[in-house]
Amino acid sequence: MPVHGVLFDLGGTLLHYNARDTTWEDTEKTGARSVYQRLLEEGLTLPPEAESLDAAWTGALAFWMQIVERYDPKTLKMADFLRAMAAAWNMDSLTDSLIEALGPLYMRAIQAHVYPLEGAVDTLRSLRERGLRIGLISNTIWPGTAHLEDLERHSLLDLIDHTIFSADVEAWKTRREVFQLGLDALNLRAEETIFVGDALYHDIWGAQQAGLRTVWIEQERVWTPDGITVHPDATIRRLPELLDIIETWQSP
């Protein structure tokens, strides 16, 4: 079946959210540090900074595991994440207005280091020139408006026909319904659409359950739940390699 559209993941696929030569842990601590400093400015008593940042990282891992272990999309949002972080610092009674103010601080600290994957703009432009429809589905606790800013800043937004952010639509990969939202938005069928992502479980396994062909951007470290084996339809190391994969799949 010829390919008529491509759905992309965001973080690690089109944009890097970890600063160069850093880890996910470093990124979470960057955001948490900005929250910590603001709470100190509010005159609140907090544990020592290093201890607090370690607790924030542990809490972030636990928060993201909710996607797998006790999926409730209504509680996988920035405000819930920040309240969980504050609770780890023995702050259980922050006002809604303060929580609302902390979100942009957390995001901006991370956004300052965002940069595109090599070849991202040229790859998307080439896909559009070939007449393919392009969409994006991102698992994120951030409001989609923040990620739209990132995409626009790095000249990617105008190359994408439709974007879906999990916290906005309250549906997360690996759930079939979020992939169907992407297909419907592009007026495509699963069998004529490719999903491209870096997360072997949420992106690749999830998309395959929805009937899409998949291209995995190979990662050194991978995670899948016990009992889940994932076999991408194709594997690449650099985003521009996607063009040759699609060309091969277009052949009769």
Tens digit of each residue's pLDDT, the chain (252 residues) = 899 999 999 999 999 999 999 999 999 999 999 999 999 999 999 999 999 999 999 999 999 988 888 889 999 999 999 999 999 999 988 999 999 999 999 999 999 999 999 999 999 999 999 999 999 999 999 999 999 999 999 999 999 999 999 999 999 999 999 999 999 999 999 999 999 999 999 999 999 999 999 999 999 989 899 999 999 999 999 999 999 999 999 976
* Helix extents (H) in 120-240: 120-129, 144-153, 166-169, 176-186, 206-209
Token code pair at residue 234: 């194709």
The pTM assigned to this predicted structure is: 0.96
CA distances from 162 to 156, 230, 238 (A): 12, 27, 23
Span 5-17+114-250: which CATH code? 3.40.50.1000
